[in-house]
Every structure is written in C-alpha cells, then in structure tokens.
C-alpha cells in the first residue's frame, strides 16, 4: 500500500461521508447534537482540498495532514478524536514508502490508540470504540494467519460492522448520548457508523490492488 493508495482511501471516505451525511446526522439526532454527518462531511471536504499537496508527501505526512485538518475543521468531539487517530496513524508509518500487512495493522492499532487516549473510552460505552476495537482485533488475528492486505481489511471492516450494530441495544455511558440514559438504548451510535465507513473504504481500496 502506497501513498497513492492512502489518498484513494481518503477520497473514498470523503465520497462515502458526503453521500451519507444526512444518514449520520439522523443517527446523531436521536442521541447526540444532530451534527455528526455535517461535521464529518465538512472535515473530509477540507481533506479532499489538500489532495494535490498530499501527492508530494510520504504516507506519514499525508495522514498527519488529515489529522490536523480534522482537528481544525470538524466540530464536536469527532474532530479531536478522529484527528488524533490520523495523527497517531501517521506516526506509526513514519519513514515508510509502502505498507506491508504488518505495517497496516500497526497503523490501524495506532489509529484506535489515538481515539482511546483522547476519548478515555472503553468498549461497551456505545462509542466508535465499539466498532474499532473488534476491527483491530480482527485485523491482528488475520495478520497472525498470514492473510493478505485485502483479507485483513475485509475482516476488519466486517468486524467493525458487527461492532457498530452491537451499539444499538447498548446504554450510552460516554459522551453526549450518556445524558439520555435509558433513552439511548435502541439507537445505533453515529461515531461507530462513521468508523465503519472509514474501514469499509479501506477494504475496498485494498481489494482493488
């Protein structure tokens, strides 16, 4: 996986978030501030505007640019969380011109680690962690089985989807949704949903290699 592949991944994320902005906002309107879709679309629209400059960067520079852009353009908690995730991901691939399966799993692990460190969240609290943690665990298991990049990311995306759906019956105990207490039950977490979109886009790009 090269920097060009990273940019293709980011482009697919931007397309997906643009197409699903209303859906994400509808999810967020039930248990949040009704702005997740709008915020994520704005953030990745700003990221897309920097693709030309990213062409001359290495992967670490590209990912760190994404991180800093999201921090500065995405409102609410999602900007700092996803921004930190991409910044940490950039740090994990520093000095690399291409990613092996092991490198990619390390990047995903750093991505998750950034969100955990910034948000102080754990699984079972009805957040994006509930999608990302099983995804990273699945990626690590696939790597241990010598799976290809395409297989690793496909399994990670599938685990993220299952994790996303698992948030529906959960009681939110973290973030804005926790204010609703029992009323948060029965709603899918918007952050877990956008996390699934991000990992699904990565799987699509890796399958096309």
Question: Exposure of 171 by Cβ count < 10 A (0-12 exposed, 13-18 middle, 19+ buried)?
Answer: middle
* pLDDT tens digits along 141-167: 999 999 999 999 999 999 999 999 999
Q: Domain segments of the chain: what residues?
A: 3-207
Least confident of 20-34, 44-58, 87-101, 126-140: 20-34
Dist CA 49 CA 137 (whole Å) = 33
* pLDDT tens digits along 90-135: 999 999 999 999 999 999 999 999 999 998 888 888 899 999 999 9
The CATH class that applies to domain 3-207 reads: mainly alpha
Q: What is the pTM of this model?
A: 0.94
């Amino acid at each position: 996986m090269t920097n060009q592949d990273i940019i293709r991944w980011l482009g697919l994320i931007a397309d997906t978030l643009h197409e699903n902005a209303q859906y994400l906002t509808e999810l967020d309107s039930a248990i949040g501030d009704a702005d997740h879709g709008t915020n994520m679309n704005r953030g990745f629209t700003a990221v897309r505007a920097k693709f030309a400059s990213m062409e001359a960067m290495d992967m670490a520079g590209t990912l760190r640019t994404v991180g800093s852009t999201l921090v500065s353009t995405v409102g609410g908690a999602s900007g700092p969380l996803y921004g930190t995730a991409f910044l940490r991901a950039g740090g994990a691939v520093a000095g690399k011109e291409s990613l092996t399966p092991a490198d990619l799993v390390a990047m995903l692990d750093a991505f998750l680690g950034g969100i955990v460190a910034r948000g102080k969240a754990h699984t079972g609290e009805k957040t994006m962690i509930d999608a990302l943690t099983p995804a990273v665990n699945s990626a690590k298991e696939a790597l241990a089985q010598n799976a290809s990049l395409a297989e690793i990311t496909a399994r990670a995306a599938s685990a993220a989807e299952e994790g996303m759906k698992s948030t529906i019956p959960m009681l939110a105990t973290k973030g804005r949704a926790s204010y609703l207490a029992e009323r948060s039950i029965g709603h899918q977490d918007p952050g877990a949903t956008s996390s699934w979109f991000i990992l699904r886009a990565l799987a699509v790009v890796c399958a096309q290699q």
